[in-house]
Amino acid sequence: MICIISGTSQFTATGRVTIPGTGNIRFPNVQVNDGGDYNASTGVFTCRIPGQYWISSTLTKVYNDNVDEVYCLVIINGSSKLEMTTDPVSDETAGYSMSASAGFHLRLGDRVQVGECGNPDHIYNTIDPFFSGILIKPDV
């Protein structure tokens, strides 16, 4: 027997809130959440439709902020898959952006988030940071 789950799954959320004591961040301003698979309270996308997904995130270090390196990981089921990092030479220049995007095969229940950040409070918390994912091709 084959079980086919129909529908769509895509999300885009902006902003940045650091989850205390974890180094993880969540993106509270949900712009799109087709399928309801992104949880703005936890910052976690949970796969409801197995298949190929495109996952992307961009973060920007606060301008003229007195901290050097800022980094975050894209994490799937507790395992780091992508790293975003900025390590500017001088803090007197403009804010530095860091991005990561890649395709992943996700299974039912897989959890994707941005976390294990170093200096997350030095990332803009406006609409600049975002976390996004879209189902490209569902499993058949």
Q: What is the pLDDT along the chain (140 residues), one digit of tens a residue?
A: 455 556 899 999 999 999 988 889 999 999 999 999 999 999 999 999 999 999 999 998 887 767 778 899 999 999 999 999 887 665 555 557 889 999 999 999 999 999 999 888 888 888 689 999 999 999 98
pTM: 0.89
Tell me 63's DSSP state. Answer: T
Domain annotation for the chain: domains and CATH numbers: 10-138 (2.60.120.40)
Tell me the CA distances in angstroms from 23 to 38, 119, 120, 122, one per residue in order.
Answer: 19, 8, 7, 12
What phi and psi values does residue 123 have, to the nearest 5 degrees? -110, 135
